[in-house]
Amino acid sequence: MKPAFSVIFLTTLIGAGQGLLIALTAGQLYAGGGSGGFYALGGALALALLCLGLVASVFHLSNPQRGWRAATRWRTSWLSREVILLPVLCGLVFLYAVIHAFGWAPVVIRLGNGATLDLPLVLGLLATLASLALFVCTGMIYACVRFIRQWASGWTVVNYLMMGLASGFTLAAAYAQLQDNALAGFLAGSAVLLTLLALATRAFQLWRNATGQPRSTLKSAIGLHHSQIRQVTQGFMGSSFNTVEFVAPGGAETVKGLSVFFLAVGFVAPAALLLAGLPVLAFLCQFVGLLAERWVFFAAGSHVQNLYYQARG
């Protein structure tokens, strides 16, 4: 499939924003609550990433003025659920940042063991739940497309979640180091672990797609069981919408080359930089790698219609 840069930036930006918000909430839990400017500015950064993702998504709409109609199909469409959840998450993150900025932390929940949850932490937990749900919605948009074998798997959802968490925690580690915050070590250690887990799950999906059997073949397409069926021509000489929008730009070799690139730049190098105490460089490196990863994800998706358009006369 031809990758759309608007969707590439949308998914990588909101993924980092969601991961950052979850990292901040995890940091609060690790440190035993607390409030203040560190979480307020971190929440504002997460909100900025989510809003940039929203802006990027507009460029994917042929008629942006009709974009609101996408929210009306929430009963059956994962895209519609994503459209609803994203502004809800933005609202929760805005409240999270404002409450922290004003340092307003009244006790909201008192647990049976005497522990308490204050308002900033409750908002962080609610935003975390919304972020996790948004990861599922975004991944399911592609995982439910059954006729594209490379996407139609639960691993698509897992990888959207893992790569969002890895980039978000790496960004949180960089932010904590720049702010000279005590959570820098905890966030950097978590970012290394999540980056390696994301590397493992994405590498497994690459292997699975490379070794899996296609669900449709020339035999099943035309109902013949001859052992040797070979297509010799597309039936026309010029390109068309089908031969441009449903194929990988640059062909399979480009996809293979960029796969090696994003595994190295998106996962291996950032993990090494985090271990070396350079989280800022790690995040910049990882974001470039994840842009390449998302390009490969879309380009590697082979529509079943390419069975007909695969051969050139």
Contact by Cβ (8 Å): 143, 152? yes
Give the amino acid at 19: G
Report d(CA 174, CA 143) in Å as an integer.
32
pLDDT at 250: 84
Contact by Cβ (8 Å): 292, 258? yes
Contact by Cβ (8 Å): 169, 191? yes
- Residue 110 DSSP SS3: strand
Domain ranges (residues) in the chain: 5-219+232-307
- Residue 109 DSSP SS3: strand
Torsional sign, CA 22, 28, 29, 33: negative
Q: Class of the 5-219+232-307 domain?
A: mainly alpha
What's CA 108's distance to the chain center, in Å?
32
Q: What is the pTM of this model?
A: 0.92
Give the amino acid at 82: E
Report d(CA 121, CA 126) in Å as an integer.
9
pLDDT at 313: 42
Report d(CA 33, CA 46) in Å as an integer.
19
Structure tokens at 129: 């739940």
- Segments of the chain assigned E as strands: 107-110, 116-118
Report d(CA 93, CA 54) in Å as an integer.
14
Report d(CA 12, CA 30) in Å as an integer.
26
pLDDT digit string (tens) for the chain, length 313 residues: 889 999 999 999 999 999 999 999 999 999 876 668 999 999 999 999 999 998 998 888 878 777 778 888 889 999 999 999 999 999 999 999 999 999 888 888 888 777 778 899 999 999 999 999 999 999 999 999 988 999 999 999 999 999 999 999 999 999 999 999 999 999 999 999 999 999 999 999 999 999 988 878 888 878 877 878 888 877 777 788 888 888 888 888 999 999 999 999 999 999 999 999 999 999 999 999 999 999 999 999 988 888 888 755 4
pLDDT at 312: 53
Give the C-alpha distances (Å, rounded to integers) separating 115 from 36, 109, 248: 20, 9, 54
| Largest Cα span, the chain | 75
Report d(CA 45, CA 212) in Å as an integer.
40
Rg of the chain in Å (alpha carbons): 22
- Segments of 77-145 assigned E as strands: 107-110, 116-118
